[in-house]
Chains A and B, each alone.
Chain A
């Protein structure tokens, strides 16, 4: 699982790291599911294609088994991405409480310590987007102007 676009390494997890999903108004963290580490670019594609600006982002790879085992409620919801085949890869870590948020936060810290964190520069994001466009998975007109202009 890859949470969307925050920099856990540089600041503690806080209320601002919640993302609103389509179906849950509060207390959810938005993540994207990948089959393996080699598929992280898919999650990045989902995140960046739905964004407003092309900016370097950090992604952390979490373990769904671990989170489920710890009682974190993982709900599959439609993700906000113009890449059609990735819409259903979106998951909300929902109904987070102070305690369960702490579990998620410590898990992220562990993963960072395990080097399961990667920064994608703007150039790398452009390559991912351009590849998706060339594969007809994404049409440029579905991107925000400020992103499309940079490709």
Chain B
């Protein structure tokens, strides 16, 4: 078994890199192997890794600050949207990983979580699949916060795919207004995809 080798890129070991809450001091630590090898300096994996590092280091704080500070209104574009779009144009793969990381790290930070979900919902489904899909499903399962759940529903409504329909039509929530919204979106998607409901005895 060389599964540990598989997980280390040649020449570099990156251990335990993470950024906790944006407003606290960075308390993570890192180990980087500075060996003399020059392998892997120009391949695509290296490019993506470097891009991801840059995103984490330079843009995470900025994105989170924009999400927290900027007023949000449905239908209105934000600077957070613009930042993510510009990064997607440069390197979609690295940006997906970056957003994925922020989502995980801030899973209990509701304002940031909502912000990431809203940004992701405004991108095309295929652009960020499957990360976007998993984020939205995780939002639907979020305990004790109906706003996060609603954000998950909104994301699937925004993408409007057959997958969205399959996910939402089996969803049952305890909050009445949210269930009504889900039912309405399901009905809309069924019309869109010409799916009829069958009554079973």
Please give the residue numbers on chain A whose beta carbons come within 8 Å of chain B beta carbons, in ascending order: 4-7, 9-11, 16, 47-48, 51-57, 119, 121-124, 146
A-B contact pairs, 29 of them (CB 8 A): A5-B75, A5-B76, A6-B73, A10-B150, A11-B147, A16-B72, A47-B75, A51-B76, A52-B76, A52-B77, A53-B74, A53-B75, A53-B76, A54-B158, A55-B74, A55-B75, A55-B121, A55-B154, A55-B158, A56-B181, A57-B74, A119-B184, A121-B181, A121-B185, A122-B157, A122-B158, A122-B160, A122-B188, A123-B188
- In the complex, the answer to whether A56 meets B74 with C-beta atoms within 8 Å is yes
In the complex, per-residue mask of B159-192: 1 if CB is within 8 Å of any chain A CB, else 0: 0100000000000000001000100110010011
Q: Which A residues are CB-close (under 8 A) to B158?
A: 54-55, 122
Is B122 located at the chain interface by the 8 A CB criterion? yes
**Are A57 and B75 in touch, CB under 8 angstroms?**
yes
The residues of A that contact B150 with a CB separation of less than 8 Å are 10
Judge whether B71 is part of the interface by a CB distance below 8 angstroms.
Answer: yes
Chain B residues contacting A53 (CB-CB under 8 Å) are 74-77, 122
A138: min CB distance to chain B, Å: 16
Q: How far is it, in angstroms, between the C-alpha of A16 and the C-alpha of B143 when the chains are bound?
A: 27
Beta-carbon contact of A54 and B72 below 8 Å: no
Beta-carbon contact of A119 and B181 below 8 Å:
yes
Considering the complex, which residues of chain B in the window 24-77 have a beta carbon less than 8 Å from any beta carbon of chain A?
A: 71-77
User: CB-CB < 8 A to B122: which residues of A?
Assistant: 53, 146
How far does the alpha carbon of A6 sit from the alpha carbon of B154 in the complex, in Å?
14
Known: A55-B154, A121-B185. A16 touches B75 (CB 8 A): no
